[in-house]
Amino acid sequence: MTQSEQRLARIAAALYLLLIPLGVFGILYVPEFIWVEGDSLATLANIEANTTAIRWSILTAFAIQITQLFLVVALYYLLRQFGNTVAAFMVLFTLATMPIAMLNELCRVAGLMLLDSEGMSAVFSRDQLDAAILFAFQLHADGIMIAHIFWGLWLMPMGWLVAKARFLPSIVGWLLIIGGIGYFLDTVTWFALGTDRFFIAQYTFIGEVLLPLSLLYRALRPGINAAEPTTN
In this prediction, residues 132-137 reach a mean pLDDT of 92
Structural domain boundaries enclosing 43: 3-220
> Is residue 112 situated within a structural domain?
yes
What is the Cα gyration radius of the chain?
20
Contact in structure between 64 and 23 (CB atoms under 8 Å): yes
What's the pTM? 0.84
Number of domains present in the structure of the chain: 1
The yes-or-no verdict on residue 86 having pLDDT over 60 is yes
Of 55, 76, 72, nearest to 19 by C-alpha is 72
Helix (H) or strand (E) holding 83: none
The verdict on residue 36 lying in a domain is yes
225 falls within a domain: no
| Mean pLDDT value of segment 45-66 | 92
Is there a domain that residue 175 lies in?
yes
Cβ 132 vs Cβ 141: under 8 Å: no
Higher pLDDT, 84 or 117: 84
- Whole-angstrom distance, CA of residue 78 vs CA of residue 94: 16
pLDDT score for 227: 42
Query: Residues 31-44: pLDDT tens digits?
Result: 888 888 878 889 89
pLDDT per residue over 149-158, tens digit each? 888 899 999 9
Of the candidates 9, 23, 3, 28, which has an alpha carbon nearest to the alpha carbon of residue 67? Answer: 23
Give pLDDT tens digits for 14-24: 999 999 899 88
Give residue 206's Cα distance to chain centre. Answer: 14
pLDDT given at position 24 = 87
Q: Is residue 212 part of a domain?
A: yes
Q: Residue 206 pLDDT more than 70?
A: yes
Task: Please name the residues in contact with 109: beta carbons below 8 A apart, sequence gap of 6 or more.
Answer: 58
- What single letter denotes the amino acid at residue 194? G
Indicate whether 203 pLDDT > 90: no
